Amino acid sequence: MAKHWWGVVAVLALGACSAPSTPDSPVAPTEIVSGLDAPWGLTFLPDGSALVSERVTGAIKRVPAGGGAAETVGVVPGVVASSEGGLLGIAASKDFARDRTVFASVSGRDENTIVALRVAPDFRSLTRQRVLLDGITTADRHHGGRIVIGPDDHLWIGTGDAFEPANAADDTSLNGKILRIRTDGTAPGGNPIHSSGHRNVQGIAFGPDGTPYASELGHRTWDEVNVLKPGADYGWPETEGVEGSTGEAPIWTVHPDDASPSGMAYAAGSLWIGALGGQRLWQLPVEAGAVTGEAVAHFAGDYGRIRTVEAAPDGSLWLVTSNTDRATWGGTDPRPGDDRILRLEVSR
């Protein structure tokens, strides 16, 4: 199953070392909302407002399109918080105006699940409609948790190895994988596993041509960004980033002290990657699955840990900080008003 790729290590370890250009730095972001408690996932609604999940409280809150106070919609049933688990990624149905459905990655007492939730028309309550996917092993750490709806209208889900590296290479485990299912919970070909050999995926994004990318937290040597190929193995635990010789090669690597990547979005010709331990926003120019320029770090240390990055309907990026979430490593003291959502204007 493993694919060997000797000969690319030196190039990839340097990132985009043959970059033709360097992106311009964006202007400082503006604040959308403050006072959130360990926010994790973010998804936009048809009216431009957004829903944000809080990992520890299990609450989903609604944020007005133009900013202002966040209002609680409801608390998701069955959420059990651990060091890194709880209510994680959320994704609104593309038909939300009609079906009022939001999909969520939930860490429970006995397992992790992907569930469908229904939001009341007045945004004052939510209920769990059904479990779409269960059997994901839970643990104290390495839950993954990102969930997005791809251009194929399927749910793409990143899972962690549940702190058991062997899970990532085990074809019978849903952990350490990219999973892909329909919004009714069925899996193409009867198998939800799209790719394997992942340590802890917390970022998934798609380019304008449909190319799927994932950001992955490494152990102590390399974090990475990968292009996701169906049925491919990405090497963990034998290979970490470019440290090793098995699996698909990443398109970009970076040291964990500078990244610990979480959420990721595509906008203006680049992937924009939130960094937890690195406390910055990485910009990685890409096109058709290839790096096209030098990676640049923005706002290093300015806003603390960045958990989530999402492209807004107006073309801006919304950044979710993660400074009140002190259970995970690489923490920083919360600033007054943390946690917050910031709006960033970007351009090529």
**Which residue did the predictor score with more confidence, 243 or 332?**
243
Helix (H) or strand (E) holding 167: helix 166-169
How far apart CA 324 and CA 305 sit, in angstroms, is 10
DSSP 239: -
pLDDT in tens, 183-213: 999 999 999 999 999 999 999 999 999 999 9
**pLDDT tens for residues 113-133?**
999 999 999 999 999 999 999
Q: How many helices (H) and strands (E) does the chain have?
A: 3, 25
pLDDT at residue 327, as a whole number? 55
Q: What is the mean pLDDT of the chain?
A: 93
Within 10 Å of residue 1's Cβ, how many Cβ atoms?
Answer: 11
Q: Beta partners for 226? A: 214
pLDDT greater than 70 at residue 61: yes
* Whole-number pLDDT of residue 10: 29
User: 302-327: per-residue pLDDT in tens?
Assistant: 999 999 999 999 999 999 999 999 75
What does residue 280 show for φ and ψ, rounded to 5 degrees? -160, 175
Helix, strand, coil share of the chain (percent; to 5) = 5, 40, 55
For residue 328, pLDDT beyond 70: no
Does the pLDDT of residue 259 top 80, yes or no? yes
- Residue 346 CA to residue 348 CA, distance in Å, equals 7
Confidence of residue 7 (pLDDT cuts 50, 70, 90): very low
CA 22 to chain centre: 25
* Long-range Cβ contacts of 120-124 (<8 Å, 24+ apart): 120/73, 120/74, 123/62, 123/71, 123/73, 124/73, 124/74
Please state, in angstroms and rounded to a whole number, the distance separating the CA atoms of residues 155 and 82. 24
Give the Å distances, CA to CA, from 320 to 52, 119, 218, 223, 347. Answer: 9, 22, 21, 20, 20
Contact present, 305 and 328 (Cβ < 8 Å): no
Burial class (CB in 10 A: 0-12, 13-18, 19+), 87: buried
> pLDDT at residue 289 above 70?
yes
Q: How many CB atoms lie within 10 A of CB 313?
A: 12
Please tell me the predicted confidence (pLDDT) of residue 81: 96
CA distances in angstroms from 210 to 25, 150, 204, 266, listed in the order given: 26, 8, 12, 11
